[in-house]
Amino acid sequence: MSLFISQAQAATEHAKGGSPFQLIFMVVIFAAIFYFMIYRPQAKRTKDHKNLMSSIGKGDEVLTQGGLIGRVTKYTEENDYVQIELNENNVIVIKKDFITAVLPKGTLKSI
């Protein structure tokens, strides 16, 4: 038992405190990693999605998060919902945020 105690005491006797500059340097490195790996790409995605939302208009062909492809038939700036025509018989209303992409014209006819 005394063998373990002497090893623990030996480990604490030789341990030195690090420089405060090392701690500040590590915090700066972690902040830079967080910014470039997490915050910046997410902010870019959010900005791109807001630009997409502002560019949507009546007649655009869109893709939703659920995988539905349709043509926008009713779109208002003050309302959070968009009316999308999937085909002549099916019209759905979804929230603007669920639109993933605006497709090139003629996509519905080519499917």
pLDDT in tens, 30-52: 999 999 999 999 999 999 999 99
Average per-residue pLDDT for the chain: 86
In this prediction, residues 69-96 reach a mean pLDDT of 92
Q: How confident is the model at residue 15 (pLDDT cuts 50, 70, 90)?
A: low
- Please state, in angstroms and as integers, the Cα–Cα distance from residue 16 to each residue in 11, 19, 80, 98, 111, following that order: 10, 9, 59, 55, 69
CATH topology of domain 57-110: SH3 type barrels. (2.30.30)
Q: Do 93 and 105 meet the contact criterion of CB atoms below 8 Å apart?
A: no
Q: Do 60 and 72 meet the contact criterion of CB atoms below 8 Å apart?
A: yes
DSSP state of 97: G
With 90 as the cut, is the pLDDT of residue 54 above it?
no
What residues does each domain of the chain span? 18-55, 57-110
